[in-house]
Every structure is written in C-alpha cells, then in structure tokens.
Amino acid sequence: MKDRSKLTTEKRNLKTADIDRRSTIEIVDIINSQDMLVAPAVAKQRKRIAAAVDVIVRRFNSGGRLFYVGAGTSGRLGVLDAAECPPTYGVKPSMVQGIIAGGRRALVRSVEGAEDIADNGAKAIAKKNLKPTDVVVGIAACGITPFVLGAMRKAKQIGAATIFITCAPQAVKYIPADIIINPVVGPEVITGSTRMKAGTATKLVLNTITTAAMIKIGKVYGNLMVDLRATNEKLEDRSERIIMETTGLSRLAAKSLLKKADGLVKPAIVMKVKKVDLKAALKILRDCGQSLRYAISK
C-alpha cells in the first residue's frame, strides 16, 4: 500500500483542526475527549483478543515463546510489555520478548529508516531461532511497516502462530497474520502522531493479552500475582501481604515463611495450607500444573 494518506492513522482529525488556537484547558479537554474513544474501540475487538490469548496459551503450554515485533512507539510498547512479565509473573525473560527496529538504541532515541527494510525484520526474527511452537505478534499502528511485515512473513514460513495489531482498517487486507486485532480509534489529535490514541489502544491490547495469558497458565490466584519475584522493597512488601491475605498469617510470620520458601510466594502459600516443606510444595504445584487454586483445594 503506497498511498498512506488513505490510512485512518494518517488522516486529519476535523475536531482538532484549530487546536493551536485553543486555550490550554481547551487543548487538554480536546485530547481527553479523543482519548475516550480508545477503550470502546478496543472493546469491539474482544473476540479477536480472546482468540489471540487462547493461541498464546496453547503455545506457552507447549513450551513456546511470545515475540512482539514493532518499530517506533509500537516497538517500544512491545518491549515494555515483555520486560514487565518476569517481575510480575515470575516467567523467564526468554518467554516473552520484544524486538524493535533499530535495536536497543531505538528504545531511547529515534533510529530513522530502521523500519523501512522488510528483510531486516525477517533477519531479526530468524536470529531468535524461531520455532513452530512460538507466537509472533506484529505491532504497527499504520499496518504497513516493512520491518514488521518482513518479520511476520518469516514467522509464517517457519510455521509460528502470527497475530497483528493495527489501528488502520485499510491495511488489514495486506497483513499476513492468522489473527488481526484492529481497534479503529480514528485520526489522531495531531495528524499522524500515533503515539497518542493508537499507542494507547495498543497498550491496552498488549496488557490484556499478556495478563489474560498469565491468568490462564496459573500465574494468578484470584487477582493476586502469586508468581511475582520480590526484586525490590515494594515487591517484598507485596509478597508478604499476599501471603498474609491468603493464609491469615501475621506480617512477621509471613516474612518468615517467605524466607523458608526462598522468596517464592506460591510455594509459601502451599507450604502453609498443606503443612509441607518447600520441596513437597513445589511437587504439589508441579502435579497441579502450577495452579495454586487447585493445589490448595485438592
């Protein structure tokens, strides 16, 4: 697709055409009113998002990995979502990975032209030793970023599952993916600035995908992140409070139990409820597919 002017993400927003003449509070209100369009647009994609989650969960359960591929804001959002999975859910960094056009440097500084070479996207995904059990999620607000499309075509050749997130309905027919998630948020407040509504929509979709997938593979009990890694004081405090809430222990007792469990919240809870040591708790969890709910109720 050569004519980008036809893309929703590149069109002018008539409701913000005179935004440069507005007062500060009016500018803030206009941006806020446009942001209110994002959540409903994402909600319309709920079935496709759920389908994507189910695909990812099946691949996770088969030992597969999840890769995000994007450029600019889209790439940074993918890397961000991947980076937050290990501390939040206790997964290995290799399980969810982000690939951005231009590499690490592009995370903090624009790398001009990095997104324009499709072959570089294919090479980037090939370097990950991609397997048919893996999932590749392409992220491109405009839907036509060559780097991302190159990665997607390579992923399909290898046999990996493919998912694509775009805010441009005009690009859908050109996208090589098994599932396409297309929240249409309309033209941006500032023409073409997809770090705004499109970026917000993308963040919502990514949050939903990984959160739902982690819930489905047993990383959450109720709404508690029982597989978190206590890597700082905030997470240590949260770990103790989770144990306190689920077992009724005091803060001091929870701290002591967490230490006996080598800092692992989920086994600590099993140790208390089932009255076993760490080794036995770990075995119970393995036998229950890492589901805490099943482990403490059987």
**Cα angle for residues 255, 211, 278 (degrees, 5° grid):** 30
Rounded to whole angstroms, the Cα distance separating 258 from 265 reads 7
The DSSP code for 181 is: E
- Per-residue model confidence as pLDDT tens digits over 223-274: 999 998 877 899 899 999 999 999 999 999 999 999 999 999 999 999 999 9
Q: Is the pLDDT of residue 110 over 80?
A: no
The pLDDT-based confidence of 54 (bands split at 50, 70, 90) is very high
Rounded to whole angstroms, the Cα distance separating 150 from 99 reads 13
Could you list the beta-strand ranges (E) of 122-186: 135-139, 161-165, 179-181
- Per-residue model confidence as pLDDT tens digits over 141-179: 999 999 999 999 999 999 999 999 999 999 999 999 999
Can you give the pTM of this predicted structure? Answer: 0.92
Q: How far is CA 201 from CA 79, 131, 195, 293, in A?
A: 16, 29, 10, 32
Q: Is 188 a catalytic residue?
A: no
Enumerate domains of the chain plus CATH numbers: 4-216 (3.40.50.10490), 233-297 (1.10.8.1080)
User: Which residue is catalytic, options 84, 188, 236, 240?
Assistant: 84
Question: Percent of the chain scored above 70 by pLDDT?
Answer: 99
Q: Is 84 a catalytic residue?
A: yes
Rounded to whole angstroms, the Cα distance separating 195 from 242 reads 35
The pLDDT-based confidence of 196 (bands split at 50, 70, 90) is very high
Give the pLDDT confidence score for residue 116 in this predicted structure. 87
Q: What's the chain's average pLDDT?
A: 94
User: Which residue is catalytic, options 10, 115, 188, 240?
Assistant: 115
